[in-house]
Structure 1
Amino acid sequence: MSQLVHRIYITTLVCIVAITAIFLAYQGTSYYSTSIEERFYHPAHDYFKPSGLLGHPLGIVGTLLILIGVASYIARKRYSFLARFGRLKYWLEFHIFLCSL
């Protein structure tokens, strides 16, 4: 991977994390800024609660991203035939991206 392609790759990963964080912050600011005692009465409670329409799928997707990130990085380190799919440095960067998203 050339240096230019690597910079584009890293920039894309950073932008995905930033856009996701901005979206979730924008959508959930009013809900998460209320006190815990008052959240039950917030209009968005059914949407943002841990078992809600957004909370539950985000938990599932987050867990899958962590599992995929860790499993793929471990597999790349352990099995030499995966070396043809990229350097270990790039796999580590992708692993960090998935686990931080």
Structure 2
Amino acid sequence: MDDEAPTIEQDLIRAIFKHFWIKKAQERERNEFPNTDALDSEVGAGTSKKNRPTSANANALKLSCELLRVFITEAVQRAGTIAEAEGSTKIEPTHLERILPQLLLDF
């Protein structure tokens, strides 16, 4: 890994993940069927998804940060190529819109 490459803070990624985990848990609670308590108790105490805290280990966060960094770098490079081909010195949102479908397929 290049020492000069910009990095994404692991705390930021952890906060983003935590935000989505909380939203998913709240969504599950809203959509919960009335009879799920009986199913959870049959499995065993403390084993239901609802009762387990969600977390990511340090290696998963590190990998997620690197993947996001590479994804953003690639998006900027591709959008820059499109902007340059059009004679522009600035990347506009339309350049990103044009490269996004293929970028998502590539990743």
TM above 0.5: no
Q: TM-score, structure 2 length as denominator?
A: 0.33
The structure where helix makes up a greater share of residues is 1
Instruction: Mark the structure with the bigger radius of gyration.
Output: 2
Q: TM-score, structure 1 length as denominator?
A: 0.35
